[in-house]
Structure 1
Amino acid sequence: MTSPPPTAPVSPPPAAPGPPQASGQWTSLPAAPAPDQFYPPAAPPKKPDTNGFAIASLVFALLGGVLFAVIFGVVAHRRP
């Protein structure tokens, strides 16, 4: 009877190097978006409303109605 030839012990393959493990209190930053991904565009700024009292004050000032120009100017200045 012949015995089978002796085999060498097989060791497991080495582990693939992975990302370093975080240790202690340090944490990693969030990943940046991929170059082909973009954030959605911001909403356009809201156009300011035209104050009708300010326009009326200007018109009265140009036409010579100083009293009405001052009154409409004060009202226009107090309105938000």
Structure 2
Amino acid sequence: MSEKKAPAPGDGLRSLRSTGIFRVVNFELYAKPNAVIMTVGLAAMGICIGYIAYMRSKYENMGYYVAMDKDGEESFIKKKSKWD
């Protein structure tokens, strides 16, 4: 069998004995950070937020605003002028 090394300062939870179920349920405590995956995730989140902001400003510039229906649902309604 392989010999286990002694835990060193900074090893965190990876150095403690635990059950397999605990490791599966708390996977993020044992996985090492991956900069590539984090960068891809942040870029995807930024693109989604940017797209939502773009669509919202597009509708607002077209003269729409968010209004509540009788049923309590939000919808975009075209602004109407009293002068029309």
Tell me the TM-score normalized by structure 2: 0.30
**Relative contact order (C-alpha < 8 Å, sep 6+): which is higher?**
1
Bigger strand fraction:
2
Structure with higher Rg: it is 1
